[in-house]
Amino acid sequence: MTRRAIELLLLVALGAVWGWTKESPAITFAGGLVGALAWSFLDGMRARRVLRWLNKGEATRAPNLGGTWGELVERCRKVIKKLEKKAQGSDARLEDFLAAIQASPNGVVLLDASGRIEWSNLTAANHLGFDPQGDLGQYVRNMVRSPAFTAYMAGGDFNHEIQIDGPGPRPSQPTKISLQIHPYGKKRKLMISRDVTAVQLAETMRRDFVANVSHEIRTPLTVLSGFVETMQSIPLEDADRSRYLDLMSQQAHRMQTLVSDLLTLSRLEGSPSPGAGEWIDSDELLQHVISEARGLTQAIAAVPHEIEPLEGPGLWVSGARTELLSAMSNLMSNAVRYTPGGGEIRAGWRVRTDGWAEFFVSDTGPGIAAEHLPRLTERFYRVDRSRSRETGGTGLGLAIVKHVAQRHGGRIDVQSALGEGSTFSIALPPSRVRERVSG
């Protein structure tokens, strides 16, 4: 017999015995009834405790009851504990999942059936300029204010992505965003955003580069084909013929130089940085580019420049000899080409107090206005376009110098002001420099 039944019988018997002492069968019956009522009240109280505990739904703080109620409480406690454990597992998985989406470099936004933001990661909030907590429940069309996006949402064709401008104005925010919607579940949508600023920039640079190269090649080609046509259609005197051939040779040479500079640049970009294996005598490099520059000034200047090396510390520098020579002679040839004939050009090596070594070239040329300085190493950027062309410049020289410097862990520096000449230098880090011990 269960404990509850014993309790019931006991209380009924107690009531009946009390009634029996009054020597009345009716009171005896009533006593038994009161006993039964008292038991059901007590039992009801226990049921209330159990129900109250179940309402809270926590496995802990279970009421301490014996008998059937106690057993029921214990069984419920076990079931609740199991459910709690399962829920904890699901919560942890959800946390992991959300943390993974937070870590994604792409923005992720979940939209409900009516296009309201249900959840978004921080990346998406940064891409689209909304508050990941405060803007939950907002219509995404109100948050992303771009006509292209409005049309995309209204069109309902989500097989392609669209590109919109970033929200600005913070520098950490991208300027170009790609967005694509992926429908899922019951009319719900997953929106992925990607920062395509760099891709766009690279694409613009590629397009500009192709346009520049085409332009640079088209000009000499037009001149060349013009001369060819003239020579084919008109009989020419020997003198004219020879003059035309000279001009044609100049244009062909210009194209050759351009192609050669382009190849140099693409080789520099496509190959690994030179190791520190070869140690080269800095004076030897200097002498080489000085004599090259002296040859150049004899060839192109009406009054040759005065080109002198400056004595410096004897150094060993490590890197790729041909690359270093090409960078140094680019600086020397610029000094010769942009400095009016008779001007002074000085070049040498020096070691700075921080241990970096510099190859520098100073000239007494026209100098460069401050606004041009940051752009000098861009491909095809020229300050003096006509002087560059006249002297066979390709607009790629300083881009090559910058690449070579960077591949050696160094950089190119320019100090110049209009009317005050220029000093260009290639700085190499201490790891690529050793003082030469004399003797």
Which of 376, 404, 405, 428 is the binder for ligand ADP (CB under 6 A)?
376
Instruction: Sort 231 into a burial class: Cβ within 10 Å, 0-12 / 13-18 / 19+.
Output: middle
Q: Is 365 in the site for ligand ADP (CB under 6 A)?
A: yes
Q: Residue 435 region, left (φ>0) first, then alpha (ψ -120 to 50), else beta?
A: beta
Closest CA to 98 of 111, 113, 108, 84: 108
Number of residues in contact with ligand ADP under rule CB under 6 A: 21
Residue 194 vs 382, nearer CB to ligand ADP:
382
Q: Nearest distance from residue 346's CB to ligand ADP, in Å?
A: 12
Q: Which two tokens stand for residue 318?
A: 């490590």
Region of 133-141, 278-286, 382-390, 403-411 interacting with ligand ADP (CB under 6 A): 382-390
Under the criterion CB under 6 A, does residue 338 sit at the interface with ligand ADP?
Answer: yes
Q: Give yes or no for residue 178 binding ligand ADP (CB under 6 A).
A: no
Q: Which region, judged by CB under 6 A, interacts with ligand ADP, from 2-10, 197-205, 280-288, 380-388?
A: 380-388
Distances (CA, A) of 176 to 15, 181, 193, 199: 87, 17, 10, 9
Among 121, 326, 334, 425, binds ligand ADP (CB under 6 A): 334
Residues 392 to 431 in contact with ligand ADP, rule: CB under 6 A: 393-399, 422
Under rule CB under 6 A, residue 382 binds ligand ADP:
yes
Rounded to whole angstroms, the Cα distance separating 146 from 175 reads 13
Least separation in angstroms between residue 411's CB and ligand ADP is: 15
Which amino acid, one-letter code, is at 298?
Q
Q: Which is nearer to ligand ADP, 127 or 346 (CB)?
A: 346
Interface pick for ligand ADP out of 80, 335, 426, 433 (rule CB under 6 A):
335
3-state secondary structure of 179: strand
By C-beta, is 168 or 341 nearer to ligand ADP? 341
- Take residue 350 and report the two structure tokens written for it: 């020096």
Residue 43 in the binding site for ligand ADP (CB under 6 A): no
- For the bound state, the minimum distance from the C-beta of residue 386 to ligand ADP, rounded and expressed in Å, comes to 10
Contact 393, 415 (CB under 8 A): no
Cβ within 8 Å of residue 113, ≥6 positions away? 186, 187, 188
383 binds ligand ADP (CB under 6 A): yes
Q: Which has the closest alpha carbon to 361: 312, 323, 434, 295?
A: 312
C-alpha 272/C-alpha 171 separation (Å) is 32
* Residue 278 CB neighbours (<10 A): 13
Residue 121: exposure state from Cβ atoms within 10 A (0-12, 13-18, ≥19): buried
| Residue number, 58 or 308, with CB nearest to ligand ADP | 308
x/- string (CB under 6 A) for ligand ADP, residues 288-327? ----------------------------------------
Positions that interact with ligand ADP (CB under 6 A):
334-335, 338, 363, 365-366, 368, 376, 381-384, 388, 393-399, 422
